[in-house]
Amino acid sequence: MCDTTQGTAKGDILIENDRVRVTRWSFAAKGDNTGWHRHEHDYVVIPQFDGTLEIKLPGGERTTAELRTGEPYYRPLGTEHDVISGNDFPCAFIEVELMDRKG
């Protein structure tokens, strides 16, 4: 992830090498966020909970993502957003960035 603004969610890098970077994003409370950012690499997200994330997109658009534990999704490099917890409980997801392609 790059071009970030400070958010309240906690990002812990679990693995980082020339092929992948694996980060656990933890949200302690509803409204915690990653901060606005643009992804430099293709990536996969693996939710560790059943619940929702609110996504702020460029131009003021906002969407809601319904997530299920262990059901991954893929996004391409260049994705820009701020990810916000919509849950009344602590939650987390694993983000796997594919370092072989950079934008």
CATH architecture of 10-98: Sandwich (2.60)
pLDDT digits (tens, 9 = 90+) for 40-99: 999 999 999 999 999 999 999 999 999 999 999 999 999 999 999 999 999 999 999 999
The pLDDT value recorded for residue 1 is: 45
pLDDT digits (tens, 9 = 90+) for 13-42: 999 999 999 999 999 999 999 999 999 999
Give me the residue spans of the domains in the chain: 10-98
Residues 6 or more apart whose Cβ sits within 8 Å of residue 49? 67, 69, 87, 89, 91, 92, 93
The pLDDT value recorded for residue 100 is: 85
**Greater confidence, 89 or 1?**
89
Q: Is the pLDDT of residue 7 over 50?
A: yes
